Structure 1
Amino acid sequence: ETRDGNSVQLASLADFQLGRGPRDLRRENRMLNVTVFANTEDRNAARALMGPITQMMEGMQLPPGYTWDLGRAARWEREEASDNNFTIIFAILLIYLIMASLFESLIHPFTIIFAIPFSLIGVALGLYVLDVPFDNNGALGLLILFGIVVNNGIVLISHINHLRASGLSRREAICLGGQHRLRPILMTAFTTILNLMPIVLPMVYGTSEGFARRWGPVGLVVASGLATSTVLTLMLAPTLYSLLDDLALWCKRVMRASHSTATSVAQ
């Protein structure tokens, strides 16, 4: 209806017809974009295809105003690897600071920090055996894994410290603490690994699609790293605890000796 009160039919202004349209409109940097997804049977093949795809797209004449770029996974490979390395290092440093305040010691947190390299052994073996590339989802899995393996170490070391505070010797506290915390640590690791199997097994057998294909590397990193870390932590953490405790006692003796020498010189 116009200002004059006259009615105007829509058919006189435009031609209407039913048809299919886009379900949603996506923008990136204020520009409309269309994302093309493709999966490969072998995840390593995706890296090998990046070069040919780049050459093919550079040889195409796109209409004016159109551009193209590789997806987020490829951009992570190209630009964000150093940022993720910094994130992992910062996470380890933050874990150390939290444990140092928890145990009130600068030495004993290293007993738990050493569980992280133990977990990396399993991560490397899992990725190598199953031929899975380490991508941004794998880096996310590392952050999750660090939190789990550190938690297992905290459960063990804190109980050993509690037993020593109750009057037991260091050797007795280590032996008894390992016995008391063996079952909880194994149950936690087993249930965590078992819960990750629905996204790991489809990737292992090559039947993963959608959610399992995307998050399979996360589950593989956590499961393989947790398996080796749990076994090695239970075997080696008590030994590391004893060695680092001796180191802490030696540092205290050296500091006391230097303090006594300084006091004698001053007198």
Structure 2
Amino acid sequence: SNQPWLILAALVTVYIVLGVLYESFIHPITILSTLPSAGVGALLALLITNSELNVIGMIGIILLIGIVKKNAIMMIDFALVEERTGKSPLESIYRACLLRFRPIMMTTMAALLGGLPLALGKGTGSEMRQPLGITIVGGLMVSQLLTLYTTPVVYLYLDRLRLWLKRFKFSPRLA
């Protein structure tokens, strides 16, 4: 009954930390936009394996919040550095996708392969650990496929939104 509140608290905490880090309201939204695909992947994996979502599975979903946002952070950090050198947002995120692809794939595969023994393991206590591994592996698989496509799109969309809102920003006139 408290599980949705736990996830909401984790998301709010992550948003606040990212907001302080980037000094922006928009970039944390771009980064957190990767999380729904991880949640869907985790729940689909539990459904496919006929496992139930218990406390250990919820811990897996909370772990995914940290693991999955790392991919978007790598992309967004690089894109922001590129923008500071004078490149357009489109050019910046394009270069970020090209140059961060391999590191993103390597770290995700390391986490995914690290979760496989939990998901596939048999033996004493494995029934307790399996939902953790299943949620991690399922969430990473689905989010990895979608994040590489959606993060640049969300980044560009929110950048356009930021520029649009900037036009309406109140600027006081000097008397």
Name the TM tier (shorter chain).
over 0.9
Under a length normalisation based on structure 1, what TM-score does the superposition of the two structures give? 0.63
What is the CA distance between 1:141 and its match in structure 2? 0.6
1:155 and 2:69 matched: no
User: 1:43 is matched with which residue?
Assistant: none
Contact kept? 2:74, 2:100, Cα under 8 Å: yes
Alpha-carbon separation, structure 1, partners of 2:132 and 2:33: 22
- Which of 232, 238, 246 is the equivalent residue of 2:160? 246
**CA offsets 1:7-33 (integer angstroms, 9 cap, x no match):** xxxxxxxxxxxxxxxxxxxxxxxxxxx
More relative contact order in 1 or in 2 (CA 8 Å, sep 6+)?
2
Q: What's 1:259 paired with?
A: 171
> Aligned match of 2:29 in 95, 110, 114?
110
Alpha-carbon displacement from aligned partner over 1:115-160 (angstroms, at most 9, x marks no partner): 1101112112101111111001011111111000111111111111
Larger gyration radius, structure 1 or structure 2: 1
Residue in structure 1 matching 2:114, options 195, 207, 210: 195
- Flag structure 1 segments of 5+ consecutive residues without an equivalent: 1-81, 203-207
The question of 1:95 aligning with 2:14 is answered yes
Q: Which has the higher helix share?
A: 2
User: 1:60-75 counterparts in 2 under 5 A?
Assistant: none
**2: distance between equivalents of 1:101 and 1:233?**
23
Displacement of 1:234 in angstroms is 0.8
For structure 2, list consecutive stretches of 5 or more residues without a partner in the other structure. Answer: none
Q: Name the SS of the counterpart of 1:121 in structure 2.
A: helix
SS of the residue 1:131 aligns to? coil
Q: Show the counterpart of 1:60.
A: none
Letter in 1 for 2:108: A
| Number of matched pairs | 175
Deviation, structure 1 residue 212:
2.2
1:164-175 equivalences in 2 (<5 Å): 164-175=83-94
